[in-house]
Structure 1
Amino acid sequence: MQVGTRRGFLVAAAAITASASVAGCRSRGDASHGSDDPLDVPSSANLPAARESLAADGTTIVLGDPGAPLAVRLYEDMSCPACAEFETEGTAPYLKRAARSGALQLQFTLGSFLGPGSKFAANALRAAVDRNRFADYHDLLYREQSRVRKAGGFTRDRLLGLAIMIPGLRGPEFDAAVLETKHREFVEAADEVLRKSPVAGTPAMAIDGVLVPPERRELFSERSRLYRHLKKAARAKE
């Protein structure tokens, strides 16, 4: 069922527990053995960092080559426990490796329907793009999300404190962007994109513009099934 209002997201999010298997804030295995297929990228692969950029729409953060033929969009809220599970235990790390291998472009729409902390985090992540540190900072915030949530959520000071752990991220421009919420227009616009989308909750995934339906939740947790799904999508474009 689609949730078309911010209240709907919040009510559904409240029903999610961190122990749910990427069940979603409403709105494991790695079977790779290595090959020449850029989509079949193992967790041990030594890959260069992915290019980071802001798309022309002004609301999408892109990892990887913006010209890559295969596009995977992730809809997330940085305060969503199910998003943290997807990013730390699900198939998100595989998608980031695939973006680094050149197999796809990974697009992020960052919602902030779970409160001020989500807005502060989305603003800080937008600032991290300017330092080419989005991917590392994004990973760190999700790893620390549970601890931060217990302490009251993301704040500007907590976000700056965590940023110290990412080499090359802290600096006068980044610090000012976080403290002054420089990218508030980006935050509000991205949240509006999520609100107006057909997404019923986070995390959500769209492959080449086609939203993954709720009954395919295994694509958020099983690397081998997501690989096969992406491979099929890539063949359809040939």
Structure 2
Amino acid sequence: MQVGSRRGFLVAAAAVTASASLGACRRREGASGDPLDVSASADLPVAPESVAADGTTIVLGDPAAPLAVRLYEDLSCPACAEFETEGTAPYLKRAARNGALQLQFTLGSFLGPGSKFAANALRAAVDQNRFAEYHELLYRHQARVRKSGGFTRDRLLGLAIMIEGLRGPEFDAAVLDTKYRDFVEAADDAMGRSPVKGTPTMAVNGTLVPPGSRAYYTDRSSLYRHLKKVARATD
């Protein structure tokens, strides 16, 4: 877990030991009929992407879905990269694509200018409905980028070439001019006002996952059971 620097955040080494057990589970139209029970190989539609009315949250999936999972992240946080590439985050994105939940992102930028540039670029990617792909790509390349000084506008544009349909005059200008700086600052302030003590942090239907429940970040089965429990309570 990356604990922060600004506003009481203290930067520390990643504590998420990602040994995700994603397993082989049925998709929505399978025998189980459970949209949360989605496999890594399921052929799924692209999830809609939007910015919530609060102006600080990026939503992946149906914003009307009753089950909401919020992820607090910083794009420069090594623990977030581990969670997103090897932990349960890919499962959550599949569940959002399968209509099981809405996945909400609060992007902090307490780890420096590179985080701000990345959050701005990700907000710009929402306009092209390419947030999910770009978000995944940035985390896959985070370690290499971090070694060379972190995310810059030019590096973000260079990586964006790998996402079909993302680069273009509108996106490029938004990245180079930091078009969404107000969104970046507002999202960072929202994280600072929250009870979150570090990143990544997960909340389900507004409740932070219990202390000591790090298995939700690393083990697909543990997270699935927790989401099912919350979903039953909201029925």
TM-score range, shorter chain: over 0.9
For structure 1, list consecutive stretches of 5 or more residues without a partner in the other structure: 23-27
User: What code does the residue aligned with 1:21 have?
Assistant: T
Q: For residue 8 of structure 1, what is the aligned residue in structure 2?
A: 8
Q: Deviation of residue 32 (structure 1)? A: 3.7
Q: For residue 195 of structure 1, what is the aligned residue in structure 2?
A: 192
Alignment of structure 1 residues 7-26 onto 2, 5 Å: 8-9=8-9, 11=10, 13=11, 15-17=12-14, 20-21=16-17
TM-score normalised per structure 2: 0.93
Report if the CA contact (8 A) 1:111-1:190 is conserved: yes
Distance 2:16 2:207 in 1: 25
Cα distance per residue 1:163-210 (max 9 Å; x no partner)? 000000000010000000000000000000000100010000000000
1:140–1:4 distance in 2 versus 1, CA, 3 Å: closer
Cα distance per residue 1:62-119 (max 9 Å; x no partner)? 0000000100000000000000000000000000000000000000000000000000
Query: Do residues 108 (structure 1) and 100 (structure 2) align?
Result: no
User: What code does the residue aligned with 2:203 have?
Assistant: A
Report if the CA contact (8 A) 1:60-1:109 is conserved: yes
Q: Deviation of residue 6 (structure 1)? A: 1.2
Q: For residue 71 of structure 1, what is the aligned residue in structure 2?
A: 68
Q: Deviation of residue 4 (structure 1)? A: 8.9
Q: Deviation of residue 36 (structure 1)? A: 1.6
Query: Do residues 56 (structure 1) and 48 (structure 2) align?
Result: no
Report if the CA contact (8 A) 2:73-2:201 is conserved: yes
Alignment of structure 1 residues 12-161 onto 2, 5 Å: 13=11, 15-17=12-14, 20-21=16-17, 28-34=20-26, 35-161=32-158
Distance 1:77 1:5 in 2: 11
Q: Please give the secondary structure, in 1, of the residue aligned with 2:103.
A: strand
Cα distance per residue 1:38-67 (max 9 Å; x no partner)? 000010100001000000001100000000
Count of aligned positions: 227
